[in-house]
């Protein structure tokens, strides 16, 4: 009986100690440990693919971009702000498609009729379908068609420019500012500053990415810009017009499927275009690519940029199967019921996650994988609880993040569990059970 009384006193003493918070199993949160698994050695962060104009381009500013991710693959002064001439019209076209209807009737104002060449030659009061004007805009680059479209869709040139600038901001084109819908050289005072109708090669390529792949009206944009020839009449049937696409790459380079040329005295020759090949989609932008008589510089530069992308960049599978160690759960209930046994819970990437990651890479480009997991956790934890991440990076930029979650749960040790466990262990001691049974 003396043993029985002693056992119960021990239990009571334990409960009192546990409630005072001085129990030695009550430890602080475990620190987070960052592990790194290298797929390939990482390239210097934030460095461009090339460090000089190895292609010897004529253009003062140029960029080759992966249209699917927006990643710059080759750049030459790609963030230098410059006038962009009629490459402006890709934004004019997509804004008109998103805010207007192809069957809309558009009437020419005096302002539209007075636009300089290249122009359709409309008269004040003439009416056209918006659809026909968009072909005139993109195939022949008619400046009066651009003004008609802007005044119809935006209410005025200024109202339309506001739509263009808002879209540029939405796309992250912070170095772009639109004044006219046709790209004629222009400046204006805004908020106490003199602003120029201008963009950068990088921003222009981003706008093209949106037009060909992200806009809800991308199919209509591609239909228009991929058409070789188009004919139409004014709505009264008095005059007929024919348009021919001036994007020479459509018929001279395999895979080219969209683009727009431009020229003004201030901008020089410019070009923005798109090409696809074996799942790869590239956009390019050229600004300041020569002045008369060097009209063909843009085509040689465009071919160089596209060929550079085709020759150097290919999709590679970079996903790595990773084995994760078990995580220690502090104050967790051991499955064995023995206090001295640590509680270790396995973890893994969720089954719903696609175990594949294909990335467009040059042969000398590297990807790293960072694993961020806690060294230990405090109970309770639940099965499926996210506890860490696996992060794939290229040149410091995140490509993909995979969540890591627990495959099992663990309850927390409580005073009641301790009482039950101690009593159970006490009663299982030799000679104790027979005392109660007697």
pLDDT tens for the chain, residues 1 to 438:
444 444 443 443 333 333 323 222 212 222 333 344 433 333 333 344 444 678 999 999 999 999 999 999 999 999 999 999 999 999 999 999 999 999 999 999 999 999 999 999 999 999 999 999 999 999 999 999 999 999 999 999 999 999 999 999 999 999 999 999 999 999 999 888 999 999 999 999 999 999 999 999 999 999 999 999 999 999 999 999 999 999 999 999 999 999 999 999 999 999 999 999 999 999 999 999 999 999 999 999 999 999 999 999 999 999 999 889 999 999 998 988 787 889 999 999 988 899 999 999 998 999 999 999 999 999 999 999 999 999 999 999 999 999 999 999 999 988 887 777 777 765 666 655 554 454
CA 361-363-366 angle, 5° bins = 65
All residues at 6 or more sequence positions from 226 whose CB lies less than 8 Å from its CB, including other chains: 250, 257, 258
Domains belonging to the chain, first-starting first, are: 1-25+414-438 (no CATH), 27-50+318-412 (2.60.410.10), 61-313 (3.40.710.10)
| Alpha carbon separation from 124 to 92, 114, 142, 147, 183 (Å, rounded) | 21, 9, 16, 12, 21
Work out the widest C-alpha separation in the chain, in whole angstroms. Answer: 119
Task: Give bridge partners of residue 369 from the DSSP assignment.
Answer: 37, 392
In degrees, rounded to 5, the angle at the alpha carbon of residue 155 between the alpha carbons of residues 154 and 159 is: 55
d(CA 333, CA 329): 9
DSSP bridge pairs for 271: 261, 286
Q: What is the pTM of this model?
A: 0.81
């Amino acid at each position: 009986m003396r043993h029985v009384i002693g056992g119960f006193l021990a239990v009571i003493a334990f409960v009192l100690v546990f409630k005072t918070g001085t129990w030695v199993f009550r430890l602080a949160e475990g620190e987070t440990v960052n592990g790194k698994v290298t797929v390939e050695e990482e390239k210097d962060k934030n460095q461009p693919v090339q460090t000089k104009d190895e292609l010897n381009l004529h253009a003062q500013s140029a960029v080759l971009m992966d249209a699917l991710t927006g990643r710059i693959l080759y750049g030459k002064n790609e963030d230098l702000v410059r006038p962009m001439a009629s490459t402006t019209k890709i934004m004019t076209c997509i804004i008109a498609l998103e805010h207007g209807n192809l069957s809309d009737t558009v009437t020419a104002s005096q302002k539209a009729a007075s636009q300089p060449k290249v122009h359709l030659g409309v008269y004040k009061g003439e009416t056209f379908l918006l659809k026909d004007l968009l072909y005139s805009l993109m195939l022949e680059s008619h400046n009066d068609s651009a003004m008609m479209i802007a005044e119809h869709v935006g209410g005025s040139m200024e109202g339309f420019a506001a739509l263009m600038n808002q879209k540029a901001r939405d796309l992250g084109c912070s170095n772009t500012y639109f004044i006219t819908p046709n790209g004629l050289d222009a400046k204006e005072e805004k908020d106490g500053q003199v602003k120029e109708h201008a963009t950068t090669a990088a921003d222009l390529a981003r706008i093209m990415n949106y037009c060909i792949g992200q806009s809800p009206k991308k199919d209509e944009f591609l239909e228009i810009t991929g058409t070789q020839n188009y004919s139409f009449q004014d709505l009264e049937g008095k005059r007929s017009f024919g348009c021919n696409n001036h994007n020479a790459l459509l018929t001279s380079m395999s895979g080219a499927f969209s683009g727009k040329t431009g020229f003004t005295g201030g901008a020089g020759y410019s070009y923005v275009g798109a090409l696809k090949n074996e799942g790869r989609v590239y956009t390019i932008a050229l600004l300041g690519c020569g002045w008369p008589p060097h009209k063909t510089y843009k085509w040689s530069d465009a071919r160089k940029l596209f060929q550079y992308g085709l020759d150097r960049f290919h999709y590679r599978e970079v996903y790595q199967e990773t084995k994760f160690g078990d995580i220690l759960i502090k104050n967790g209930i051991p499955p064995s019921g023995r206090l001295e046994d640590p509680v270790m819970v396995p973890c893994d990437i969720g089954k719903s996650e696609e175990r594949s990651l294909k990335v467009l890479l040059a042969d000398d480009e590297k990807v790293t994988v960072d694993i961020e997991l806690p060294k230990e956790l405090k109970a309770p934890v639940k099965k499926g609880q996210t506890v860490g991440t696996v992060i794939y990076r290229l040149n410091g930029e995140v490509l993909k993040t995979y969540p890591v979650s627990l495959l099992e749960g663990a309850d927390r040790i409580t005073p009641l569990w301790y009482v039950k466990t101690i009593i159970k262990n006490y009663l299982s001691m030799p000679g104790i059970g027979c005392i109660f049974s007697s």
